[in-house]
Amino acid sequence: MRKLLMLPGPTNVPDRVLEAMRKPMINHRGPEFHKLHENIVENLKYVFQTKNDVYALTCSGTGGVECAIFNVIDPGDKVIMPIGGVFSERMAEEVKSVGGSVVEIPIAWGKAVKVEQVEEALNKNEDAKAVALVYNETSTGVTTRDLRKIGDLTYRRGVLLIVDAISILGGDELKVDDWHIDICVSGSQKCLACPPGLALISVSERAWKVMEKRKTRQSFYFDLLACKRFYEERKETPFTPAVSLYYALDEALRMLREEGLEKRIERHRACASALYKAFEALGLSLLADPEARSNTVIAINYPEGVDDAKFRGILRDEYGIHIAGGMGKLRGKIFRIGSMGTVTKDDVLVTVESIALTLNKLGLKASVEDAVRAAKEAFM
C-alpha cells in the first residue's frame, strides 16, 4: 500500500531528494562542501525573501528556536509573547530557561494574535527587548495574519522580532526583509519537503548588533556569531554539519526554485482551500477562526463519539494515510492534516475520500461524494 504522509511534518520526500543523500561523504572543511554550502545559503535567502544572513543548523526545529532565544535573550530581559498553542508555550519555556521574563498575551486556542494586542503590550512594557511569536501554530492550525503589521510595529519601536516559521516557510507568504523579522526560524521537514534534522535561521543586522554587545554566551553549540565567522571566513560551519542532509536540502531547494516560490505558495493555498471546503461539506467543524486558518496545517474538531486512535488507525492501516492527532489539551479532540511540501490535488482528493469513508466505518453518515465534489470544485 502506498504510504501518504499528510502530517504536519515530516512530509513526503521526493525521490530526487532521497537520492541526493546517497552521495559519498566529503570533507566538510574542503572545497566541495564550500560550494554546496554557498548554494544552500543563496537558495535559502530566496525562500526567506531576505538579504540577511541565513544558516542551516544541524538540529531539529526546536534547536533552531533555542538558538534564536539563546543568542539574544539574557537573564532579566522582557519578551512579549502571544501564547495560544503548544509551540508558543514551548517557546516561552525556552525564554524562561535563559532567565528571560515572559510578558504573556494569552490567546484562545484557535485564534490568532492581533497587532493591537501586541501594541498594547508594548505600551505597557516599554522596556521589552523582543516580541517572539509562532507564525503558524502547528498545534491549532492558526496563522498570525497580522505578522506584517507586527513587524512594522516592532521595527518602529526598536524591539527585536523573533519568529518561529517552522511549519510555514515555503508554504505561505513570509517576507523576512519587508516584514522586518530579525530572527526567523524554520525546519527542513515541513514545507520544504526535506527529511528532518536541519533548522534554518535568518539573522538581521539589528540582531547582530544586539549579539555583539553581549558579554555572556548562553550556548556553546548554538553560537550564531561563530556561525557568522565560520561562514564569512571559509564557507564552513563551526562544527561537523549533517552533510547528507545538506545534500538533501540542496536538492529540495533546487526543486523549490524550479517550481518557483509564488507557484508553490499558490499550490499550498489551493490544497488547503480544497481541504477546508471538503470538511465543511462533511459538516465537520474547524478549530481555527476563518480569518486565521492556516494554509499548511488543517485542524478539525472530532465529531461527537469518534475515537482518535480508531479513526487515525483505520486511515493509516486501511488507506495508507498518515495524519496527526491533537496536542496538549487538544489531544483526542481534534485531528490535524499537514498539507505541505509536495502536496498535490490527488493527495488532497484521496485524503478527503478516505476520511469520509473512515467516518462512515465509524458509524457516521458522511457523504463521500459531497466531500470529494466540494474539494474538486475548490480546485476549479
Ligand X SMILES: Cc1ncc(COP(=O)(O)O)c(C=O)c1O
3-state secondary structure of 184: strand
Cβ–Cβ < 8 Å for 182, 155: no
Residue 94: CB minimum distance to ligand X, A: 10
C-alpha cell at 284: 465537520
Sign of CA dihedral 113, 188, 139, 348: positive
Please pick, from the candidates 40, 163, 166, 200, the single residue that binds ligand X as defined by CB under 6 A: 166
| Residue 209 CB neighbour total at 10 angstroms | 10
Please pick, from the candidates 4, 5, 9, 133, the single residue that binds ligand X as defined by CB under 6 A: 9
Task: Name the maximum alpha-carbon separation found in the chain.
Answer: 64
Residue type, 169: L
144 binds ligand X (CB under 6 A): no
CA dist list (Å): 11 to 97, 98, 196, 210, 343: 30, 32, 9, 35, 9
CB closer to ligand X, 62 vs 101: 62
CB closer to ligand X, 154 vs 186: 186
Which part of the chain contacts ligand X (CB under 6 A), choosing from 61-69, 99-107, 227-235, 303-311? Answer: 61-69
174 binds ligand X (CB under 6 A): no
Residue 144: CB minimum distance to ligand X, A: 11
Please list every residue from 65 through 94 that binds ligand X, using CB under 6 A: 65, 87
Residue 11: CB minimum distance to ligand X, A: 11
134 binds ligand X (CB under 6 A): yes
Residue nearest to ligand X (CB): 61
Residue 225 to residue 231: CA distance in whole angstroms: 10
Residue 4: CB minimum distance to ligand X, A: 19
Residue 272: CB minimum distance to ligand X, A: 16
Cell 459531497 -> residue: 370
61 binds ligand X (CB under 6 A): yes
3-state secondary structure of 305: coil
Please list every residue from 184 through 213 that binds ligand X, using CB under 6 A: 187, 196
The conformational region for residue 52 under phi > 0 = left, psi -120 to 50 = alpha, else beta, is beta
Which part of the chain contacts ligand X (CB under 6 A), choosing from 93-101, 162-170, 176-184, 328-336? Answer: 162-170
Residue 191: CB minimum distance to ligand X, A: 11
Residue 112 to residue 197: CA distance in whole angstroms: 28
CB closer to ligand X, 65 vs 81: 65
Residue 41 to residue 43: CA distance in whole angstroms: 6
Which part of the chain contacts ligand X (CB under 6 A), choosing from 40-48, 103-111, 164-172, 218-226? Answer: 164-172
CB closer to ligand X, 282 vs 326: 326
- Report H helices in 242-367: 243-259, 261-281, 308-319, 345-361
CB closer to ligand X, 167 vs 218: 167
- CB-based burial of residue 201 (10 Å sphere; 0-12 exposed, 13-18 middle, 19+ buried)? buried
Q: What are phi and psi of 105, to 5 degrees?
A: -105, 105
Residue 85: CB minimum distance to ligand X, A: 8
Please pick, from the candidates 49, 167, 342, 354, the single residue that binds ligand X as defined by CB under 6 A: 167
CB closer to ligand X, 83 vs 134: 134
Which part of the chain contacts ligand X (CB under 6 A), choosing from 22-30, 60-68, 215-223, 257-265? Answer: 60-68
**Preceding peptide of 10 cis, ω within 30°:** yes
Question: 302: which DSSP letter?
Answer: P
Task: State the residues that interact with ligand X by CB under 6 A.
Answer: 8-9, 60-62, 65, 87, 134, 138, 164, 166-167, 187, 196
